Every structure is written in C-alpha cells, then in structure tokens.
Amino acid sequence: MTSEPMDDRSAGHGTASPGKPSTGPHSTRPQDACGILLPLTSVPRLHAVTWLAWALAAMVIVQLAPSPLYLTLILASSALVTAAHRVSSTGAFRLLVGAGIVMALIRVVLTALTTHGVGTVLFTLPEVTLPRIMGGFTLGGTIETEVLLQSLVEGYAIVVLLGVFGAFNSVVSHHELLGSAPRAFHEAGLVVTIAAAFVPSTVTSWQTAREADRARTGGIVRRRGRLARTVIPVLETGMERSLRLADSMDSRGFARHPPGPADSASAWGALLALLALAGAFVALVGRRSGMATVLATAGLLLLVGSVVLASRASPRERYRPRSLTLDDAFIMVTTGVGLALVAGSVVADEATLRWSAYPLEAPGLAVVPTLGVLALAVPALLPTRPDPAEDISTPAAARSGPAAMPPVPS
C-alpha cells in the first residue's frame, strides 16, 4: 500500500539507496496531498508555516496598497521568491498568473462595455440593451479612458493575488503544511491541502504526459491527436490518485473517531465563541464600544480554548515534526515588519497607496510603504540549497517511467 499522509505517523521508513532519492522520514522531498513525491529541484529551506505567514502578509498588502506600482513590486517579489525557493518542477506560478491575466481581461471588457458617462470617450460601439430580467443595462456605447484604466488596475490586483498564491504553491511543501495544522483542524486541513495541491499536481501530470508523448515519438512533434494523448493520461493520473487517497483514508478510518466529552465541550465552546463575536459585531454597529470589546475578547478566548481542547483530545501524533529555524524566524520578523510598515502608512493616510483614474494622474511611490513591500522579497536572499539526492538534469519522464505517473514511495 502506498504511503499517505492521513496521519503524521504514516511517514515512510525507507532509506535512500545510492543514486536514488530518499523517501524515508528524514526526506525533504515535497509531496502532494496524496503523499506522492513530486519532481524536485531543491531541498526546502523554510518551514511551511513560514511560507503561509509570507503568503498571508503578501495578500493583505495587496489589499492595503492596490496602486499599480506597489502591485508590480509585489508581483516581482513573488517571482524572485519562486525562482529562489521553488521546491517542485511545476509551473504553478506561471499558470496562475496566466489565469489571472485572463480573468482580468474579461473583467476589463465587461466593465468597459457596461460603464458609461464618467470619462473621456475613446470610441463608440453599437449599443445593445438587455431585457429587464437580465439586468436591463446597456452593453456597448461609449468606451472611456478612465473606465478602461481603472478596470485595468483593479484586474491587475487579481493577477497579483493569484501570483502570490502561485508562488506559495511553488515553494511550500503541502505535506508539511498539513502536518503543521492544529490537530483539531486535521480533517478540514486535509481538504484545504488537497485543494491547494491541485494546481501543482495537475501541472506535474501535464508536464510528465507531454514528456512521455515526446519520448514515444522520438522527439518529433506530432500535433494530430496531441491534446487527447495529453489530457487522457492527466485524467487517469488524477483518478488513480483520488482512488488511492480514498482507499488510504478508508483503511485508516478517516473521520471515524467517535466524539468524546472533550470534543463535545470544544464544539459548545466554538458555538459560544461565534455567538460572542456576532454579539460584538452588533454592539459595534450600535456604537457600544465597551460591550463590543468585552464580547470580542470573550469570543476570541473561547475560540482559542476550544481549538486547544479539541487538539488535545485528538489521538493523532506527529512523527518527528520539523522545527522552525533561525531562518524561519528571520523571514517571519521581516515579513511582519513589512506588513506593519504598510499598515502604518494606511493609518497615516498615505495617498500613494491607492490610485484612481478620477482625476487621471500618474501613480506614485512613498518610501515607507515601498520598504514594507520590498520586505516580501527578503526570502529570495536566502535561496534554497540544491538537492544532492536527485539529478535535476534527468528529465521528469525518465524519472516517472513510461506510464506518465509520478513516483510513489513504498
């Protein structure tokens, strides 16, 4: 049976043989959510929790500073971090940036066709008014400069957000990320981890199928039927991986642990915490700041206590968890400082953080938020070491075999 990370104690116990990558408990090779080893170019240097903190800080900064210049700095920092710390040979970063560009262009077209009368007219298109049941708005008409530029900047923010997520997917070990989640969130964390690992695992399957197709044709590009020869192996790989995951979950009794007294107490505590937080929101709307503070504090304490209680009640144990290092602490501190600088600029009402096409002016940069954004590129200064266990010059198809499947630990 293949090794699946449903439980932290299920890590393999194999040792590396000469010329073969290690698959044992000390192996640092990235795995997808099904426990399958991904093609590797380097050994992960930073912990998955560090990368999670970095990604969350980057996404918050995108929301706080959506000016196109700051967004460009964030995207460039994500690209540098991906180049310095990529642990798998997948193109998740490029794929998600490309998907973001497509989404942004669709948004630009829809906004330009439906927003009129607020700027300088570039040209005029024929108008079509939709029926009232479909909104009753007009498609076409005047296409205006300010509307086009504003929609481009807002779509660019979507591209940067997906770029940050793609960078996170390229540098993090999903297996380690799942193992770092609190034991109370093991089931939910597994679902989220599988969803996060979908893009890199699918890209890996696609690349492997393409390389296997080239190997079968002797390097000659045969365009006829190439889509079917690529898509079918990818679908088969995904189906086999999902069936293998389902069998592993069922054999380990996933989510069959009967609730105990601690589980019931933590559930009631979480319910009370949510009610307290909802009451704090209502009190805040009613301008009862004192009551809102008390309810919010009580709700947060109840929520933290419920998570701790549920985690202690879980029977799962982590097998040799990886500890945070000084490099992890350094990256977390610098990322937190960068986020604090940008948040402080928001509090100080820094005008350059946001850009508007009304009136039309060139975007600008300020020193403090720029330093905060550039802090996201600090991980690129600590590049990941090359992996001595695997020859990165070997094509993925040769490592994966003719069946276009990634290697599976025994």
pLDDT digits (tens, 9 = 90+) for 128-172: 887 777 767 778 788 888 888 889 999 999 999 999 998 988 888
Report CA torsion sign: 208, 213, 218, 223.
negative
**Per-domain residue ranges for the chain?**
31-256+326-400, 261-312
Residue that is written with structure tokens 């009136």 in the block: 359
Q: Any idea how long the chain is?
A: 410
CB 167 within 8 A of CB 78: yes
Q: What is the pLDDT of residue 122?
A: 83
What pLDDT does 74 receive? 95
CB 47 within 8 A of CB 322: yes
Which parts of 53-146 are beta strand (E)? 121-129, 138-144
Q: Which of 113-127, 166-180, 329-343 has the highest mean pLDDT?
A: 329-343
pLDDT, average across residues 105-123? 83
pLDDT value of position 319: 61
Higher pLDDT, 347 or 192: 347
Q: Which two tokens stand for residue 365?
A: 């940069």
- Statement: residue 71 has pLDDT above 90: yes
Cα 238 to Cα 209: distance, rounded to the nearest angstrom? 12
Going from the C-alpha of 92 to that of each of 89, 116, 164, 392, the distances in angstroms are 9, 37, 10, 18
Is the per-residue pLDDT at 24 higher than 50? no
pLDDT classification of 316: cutoffs 50, 70, 90: low
Mean pLDDT confidence for 226-254: 76
What is the gyration radius of the CA atoms in the chain, in angstroms? 25
| 293 or 5, higher pLDDT | 293
Instruction: Look up the pTM and report it.
Output: 0.68
Of 406, 52, 13, give the one whose Cα is nearest residue 241.
406
Cα dihedral 21→23→28→32 (10° resolution): 110
Strands (E), 33-117: none
How far, in whole angstroms, is CA 87 from its chain's centroid?
14
Report the phi/psi class of residue 349: left, alpha or beta, with left for phi > 0 and alpha for psi in -120 to 50.
left
Q: CB of 241 within 8 A of CB of 208?
A: no
Helix (H, G, I), strand (E, B) or coil at 38: coil
pLDDT of residue 183: 67
> Could you give the percent of the chain with pLDDT greater than 90?
20
**Segment 357-373, tens digit of pLDDT:** 887 788 888 999 999 99
- Please name which of 72, 53, 52 lies closest in space to residue 62, comparing C-alpha atoms: 72
Under 8 Å between Cβ of 341 and 368: yes
